[in-house]
Amino acid sequence: MPLHTLPLSRRSFLAQSAGVVAGLTVVRHGWGDEGSKTNPNLLALLSDTHIPDSPDVTARDVNMTANLRQVIGEVIALETRPAGVIVNGDCAYLKGQPADYANFAKCVAPLDGAGLPLYVTMGNHDDRAPLYNALQLQQPARPLVASRHITVIETPRANWILLDSLTKTNVVTGALGAEQLKWLDKALAERTDKPTLVMAHHNPQFEAPASGPWTGIEDTAELLELLGRHKQVKAFVFGHSHNWAISRRGDLHLVNLPPVAYVFSPEKPNGWVRSEVLDDGLSLELRTIDPKHKQNGEKVKLTWA
């Protein structure tokens, strides 16, 4: 099971331990710690942390390690506890080196003491084997799809399906591939009882590049056709472009998470997103690294069609 930490509740621990024994990558959140303020429909969404081998390394005038440490502290300090924390890919700086993940593991270690589960997806700057070595409980005993890191998080109001769009480390192009799409089609057909949110690191790319490699998901057309056939899929969440943005394509909401690390445009915010699934949609609140940024605290509600 791709978990680095486990919730504190005995019921939650036992339920997830069953998954660990079975080697499954399906996690169920339907409760909180007895007497706690845990909200099982609340998740902290992070992306593009780009953690280097040393806390002293900076890029684009940003200390990535300091940013992630700040965000982890903010999540732990939330008055209402989330059901977990998702880092949507590019955990490592550039080439997914073992030292990158050693530093990343130190940054997220406080989640363990707080009893907050950590989930990760794979970005183009990640490498599965070194990540598994540094965060051993992230490695599933029995992957849902061979050579892919996939997680299903089942919460009371929605299912989250975290996909793997990594093709080759430090190559910009992303792809899901036929086997993963086949699995996704079956997984969605088996889960029609509540809304579903699908997540991957790479952004959808709606047109083939005029020249050069794809920079987003190479098989975007196949993915969107599949998602369109499953009406319970309400949103696709991604990172990669370091650009906080919300849009729609038909009935499908598109959520582009901000980077925890650096931005590509100086006016854009970096930070993380507090997400809560409601009865009729998804509430998103942006928390920026710079508390004085004009978009800090920006709230968006996505309403299900």
- Please report which confidence band the pLDDT of residue 36 belongs to, taking 50, 70 and 90 as the band edges: low
- Please report which confidence band the pLDDT of residue 83 belongs to, taking 50, 70 and 90 as the band edges: very high
pLDDT in tens, 169-225: 999 999 999 999 999 999 999 999 999 999 999 999 999 999 999 999 999 999 999
Fold of 10-303: Purple Acid Phosphatase; chain A, domain 2 (3.60.21)
pLDDT reported for residue 28: 78
| Residues 305, 100: Cα–Cα separation, whole Å | 41
- Please report which confidence band the pLDDT of residue 42 belongs to, taking 50, 70 and 90 as the band edges: very high
> Domain segments of the chain: what residues?
10-303
Contacts of 172 (CB under 8 A, 6+ apart): 124, 213, 214, 215
| Residues 11, 31: Cα–Cα separation, whole Å | 8
CA R_g for the chain: 18
- Please report which confidence band the pLDDT of residue 229 belongs to, taking 50, 70 and 90 as the band edges: very high
Q: What is the per-residue DSSP string for 180-243?
A: HHHHHHHHHHT--SS-EEEE-SSPB--S--SSS--SSBTTHHHHHHHHHH-TTEEEEEE-SS--
